[in-house]
Amino acid sequence: MQPYLGDDFGNPASASHVFGWRAEAAVEDARGRLAAAIGAADPEEIVFTSGTTESDNLALLGIARAARGRRNHIVSVATEHPAVLDTCRALEREGFAITLLPVDAQGLLDPDAVGRALCDETLLVSVMAANSEIGVLQPLAEIAALCREREVLLHSDAAQAVGKLPLSVEELGVDLLSFCAHKLYGPKGVGALYLRRRRPRIRLAPLLHGGGQERGLRPGTLPVALIAGFARAVELCAEELPAEAARLRALRDRLLEGLRARVGGVQLNGHPERRLPGNLNVCFEGVRSDALLARLHDVACSSGSACASGKSEASHVLLALGIGEERARSALRFGLGRGTGEAEIDFALERVALAVAAERRQPGAGLRARAQ
């Protein structure tokens, strides 16, 4: 990123001088590297945005508004990120029909449920590749095959999957895919939307107007340094992916086994195997997660997604698993990453064990446990 923060400071849309040419070359180089990283056939299928939230909005709103008057039905999942769910609600207010499908007790979506939800009016299905709270991996390839049979587009929020799992949009059959840099150690403030150009060629109504950048689909001056950092971060993750996934999976299992041994009353949320290697979401019997977090300032964990941090209500993802509000309010999510080693796992185990024990000694803790 460093050259584009200082020496090569040109605007990539400036076509009349060398500063603009250098910036444009950096953007197009990054576009090609990102396309290769997700198995896209054409670099022009990558549209730069400010992050996954914007990419999700551009995908859903853009597809729906471009098809207005022809098809008006969109299918998604109850455990999606608010960037998708809130956009679906906005489209519902615009007159579109929305179907939100349930998941099973382990967070998995049944592809047959998608098939049953499709109708002649269905325009788009949106299914997250890897859930941001419970790490569950959805069966995208099976869902894509059903969508293709009915000539329905498939979008996936893959913010948590790109860089952490092998992923090819061509092999999966996904038509639109949202992802961003900061979920894989790149800079905050930049993301991308993969938009299939052939078989089918997708029509997309832009959310913004003016400037004409990104073929008019997302106008605005491109952040060259962020885009360069985005592409390099994805490449670094891809280079280290197999070994890093195995390392994180072992550390995650060490954390889960340690919690069960030292704390007790620990229940895993989400599928035990079909999940991200660095994700662990568990409930602690008889303990509220907000009380635990108040005791764990030196452990970076949360009770839900970062976008929901600070909200008082129980996680909509956990409630969709059917575990009930009380148990949902006892959950913590641990994210393991490049900086996590055995020392960090052991530190977290010690701190969480002390916090849970202290909370369970509080007056009324037994009553809360029986209520659960």
| Burial environment of residue 29 by CB neighbours within 10 A (0 to 12, 13 to 18, 19 or more) | middle
Q: Any catalytic annotation for residue 283?
A: no
- How far apart, in whole angstroms, are the C-alpha atoms of residue 363 and residue 331? 20
| Burial environment of residue 201 by CB neighbours within 10 A (0 to 12, 13 to 18, 19 or more) | exposed
Q: Which amino acid does the sequence have at 246?
A: A
- Closest by Cα among 144, 180, 359 to 265: 359
Catalytic residue selected from 119, 283, 301, 307: 307
Cα of 30 vs its chain's centroid, Å: 21
- How far apart, in whole angstroms, are the C-alpha atoms of residue 175 and residue 202? 8
- How far apart, in whole angstroms, are the C-alpha atoms of residue 188 and residue 230? 9
Mark out the alpha helices in the chain (DSSP H runs).
Answer: 18-37, 52-66, 82-93, 111-117, 140-149, 169-172, 224-262, 289-295, 316-320, 325-328, 342-360, 365-371
- Catalytic positions, written as ranges: 307
